[in-house]
Every structure is written in structure tokens, then in C-alpha cells.
Amino acid sequence: MPRRVLHDEFFRRAKAEGYLARSAYKLLEIQQRRAVLGASMAVLDLGCAPGSWLQVAAQVVGPGGVVVGFDLAPVRAEVPGWVVARVGDVLALPASDLLEPLVQRRGPGVLYDAVLSDMAPNTSGAGDHFRSVRLCEAILERLPGLLRPGGSLVYKVFEGEQYPDLLARTGAVFARCKGLKPRATREVSTEIYVVAGGYEPALRHAPKPGGIAPPPPGPGRGWGR
């Protein structure tokens, strides 16, 4: 098994470039290759601490955007005025609480343009893949009350036997869906990111676990490389 290198290239770059964690470079690569964020967008970051994805999202959306993050741990870093970081359990809070910071800034009836999650379950070395899939499924089930039609989703999962099913379930309600493993991911890690765009909540019901649905008809199901 490869030895885990704690202070690698991305750790050093994060320190030098002012990012709170090396994970910033994962979202930066996802953005470079998939363009899930854009200027003036409203973005929800689930499990946002320590705040590196908030930093990246804030840079992309700019002052005309809104970036909202929730985590069980507080974000102690200084953030721009268009970023709101709250403490809370994203799986227990009602959608109205997750939307409230956005509603305060843009008025009622709004939804997010993109939902991000770099969350992972507490790892034990046994069953981590299955717990990460359950976490992603919980996020997928919450999207109708949070993400606008046409919006984007990025979430992390540990690869394993249920990964193809999760990819298919995600692709059943998005026009584009593909897995991506950023260069900043450690060699010893099994994590991969499901990146999806063109949310289509009315397209079809996502299949239940264990049943892989074929992709909906029509072109544009992936981004290529």
C-alpha cells in the first residue's frame, strides 16, 4: 500500500496560496473541467468546514453571488461578505433552514444553482463505502427542495460495489453525470466525486438501491474526459 504523504504538493500550495485546506484544489479542478459554478450563482456547500470549498466557490461566483455553507463544526476563517457559514446538521435541518440565508439575500421562492458536498462519514476501515453511499443518497433525496431545475451537483463518495448504482441514480435526474477523481486526491484514497449538471427533477424517479436505471433518452449524458 502506498505510504500516505501528509505534506505533499497540494498541502504546500494551499499554505502558500491562502487556502484553508488542500481540498480546495479538488474543487478547482472540478470547476476547470466541468464548469459547475458561474458568476452570480447561489451555491450551497454541505459539510463546509474548514472552509476551503467556500473560498473557491466565493472566488467563482463573485460579489454578485451567494455562497452558503453548513457544517457541524464552525468555520472560523474570515470569509467575504457574500459567504454565509452556519453550524447545523445538514441531514436533519429542514430545507427552509438551509434556504434561509439565501432567501434573506434574494427573497422568497429561490433555490440554489449548485449544491456541493465534500462530506464523508466517520471512517472505520470497514463499511466506509456503504456509509458514504448512504450519505450521498440522503443528499440526492433532499435536492427537490434545494436545487433549481438545470442546477449542478458535486458530491464525494468512496468507490466500491455500490458506486455504479449511485452514479446511475444520480444520472437518472441529471442531464449530465460523470465521476471525476481530481489530482489532489491522495493516492491511498478511494474517494471519487460524482459531478452532475442539468438537474431534471421531473424527468423520472431515481431507482431504489439495487436497481440501476438506464439513462434517460437524449444526447449529452456526459462531459467526455
Q: What is the pLDDT of residues 164-202, one digit of tens each?
A: 999 999 999 999 999 999 988 877 789 999 999 999 987
pLDDT confidence of residue 211:
42
> Given a cut of 80, is residue 144 above it in pLDDT?
yes
Order of strands across the sheet that contains 191-199:
83-87, 66-71, 42-46, 112-117, 147-158, 191-199, 174-180
178 is an active site residue = no
pLDDT confidence of residue 208:
45
18-36 pLDDT, tens digit each: 577 788 999 999 999 999 9
Domain covering 9-199: architecture? 3-Layer(aba) Sandwich (3.40)
pLDDT confidence of residue 19:
78
Mean pLDDT of 125-143: 91
d(CA 73, CA 90): 11
Catalytic residue among 156, 178, 181, 208: 156
Helix (H), strand (E) at residue 45: strand 42-46
| pTM score, whole prediction | 0.85
